[in-house]
Structure 1
Amino acid sequence: MSNAARANGAGKHPAQYLALAIGIIYVLVGLAGFLVTGFDGFAEPEGDLLLGFEVNPLHNIVHLLIGAAGLALWSTLDRARTYGWLLAVGYGATFVYGLFVANSDDQANFLALNQADNILHLVSALAGLAIALWPARDRSTANTRR
């Protein structure tokens, strides 16, 4: 494959595009979160609602970092898989954590999590597993299977 074809995205694995899409979505959600919360109540358990999801400024920063990681790591399959594992482990742990603190006024809920967040975190962890474990294409047999 030529360098020009690679530069145009030809030959990218679907897991890479999923990592890119998740990265873009989380950056946009992080930015939109700041439109809702501003910078007040940085790590308060009572956040503001963004499309049914509770957020606070710290939660928005986490979304921006997760999104930036996706944008930085989607370029190769190995990097995308690393991002997938980060999502799977990070959001898997956040899902379990959210089961204990969601919707509480306890200071332990420093990310202002609610049940909608828990569902999104579980879906994000599963998407991370999909990225990390998506089988690589075997280019040597791909042309003979047509």
Structure 2
Amino acid sequence: MSSSPNRLLAVIFGAVYLLVGLLGFAYTGGVGFLATQGGLILGIFEVNILHNIVHLLIGAALLIAGLASVPAAKGLNTTVGAVYLLVGILGLFLVGSSLNILALNAADNVLHFASAIVLLAVGLGADKRSRAAV
């Protein structure tokens, strides 16, 4: 694996999101698949079963992209960053509503915005030469 910021970030974020997805199942016993309120990881991040599955899918995709190539990692970091920015914005309106099928709370929204900023910054700003060379 080359020393690419995008590949490194994708592998790290991928591993973390996989672990969070797995850990989430320890906190969602008795929580419905689409429950609008869920278990609390670390006492602050709310999750339901669907939220855990989303974390697993995103984690696996990031990890695979990070291990695959610079263009794959760069593209997925940018895409996931943009999606997390959208989820963060939507989360501001969904918390406390019946449409909150991911059981989002304020702490989740902050984490989604932070993830979006880091993923977009690296995805759009790093490895510029790699894109031109490929």
Superposition TM-score, scaled by structure 2 size = 0.88
Considering only CA atoms, is the larger Rg found in Structure 1 or Structure 2? 1
* Structure 2: unaligned runs, 5 residues or longer: none
1:38 is displaced (CA, Å) by 3.3
Whether 1:107 aligns to 2:98 is: yes
Aligned to 1:49, the other structure's residue is in SS state: strand
Superposition TM-score, scaled by structure 1 size = 0.81
1:101 is displaced (CA, Å) by 1.4
The corresponding residue for 1:88 is: 81
Q: Which segment drifts farther, 125-134 or 75-84?
A: 125-134
Percent sequence identity over matched residues? Answer: 43
Answer whether contact 1:19 1:131 (CA < 8 A) is retained: no
The corresponding residue for 1:34 is: 25
Q: Measure, in 2, the Cα distance between the counterparts of 1:35 and 1:120.
A: 20
Aligned to 2:126, the other structure's residue is in SS state: coil
RMSD: 1.7
Q: How does 1:41-56 map to 2 (within 5 A)?
A: 41-51=32-42, 52-56=44-48
* Structure 1: unaligned runs, 5 residues or longer: 1-8, 140-146
Q: Measure, in 2, the Cα distance between the counterparts of 1:137 and 1:110.
A: 37
Q: 1:134 aligns with which of 115, 125, 128?
A: 125
Q: Measure, in 1, the Cα distance between the counterparts of 2:76 and 2:45.
A: 23
Answer whether contact 1:37 1:56 (CA < 8 A) is retained: yes
1:36 is displaced (CA, Å) by 1.0
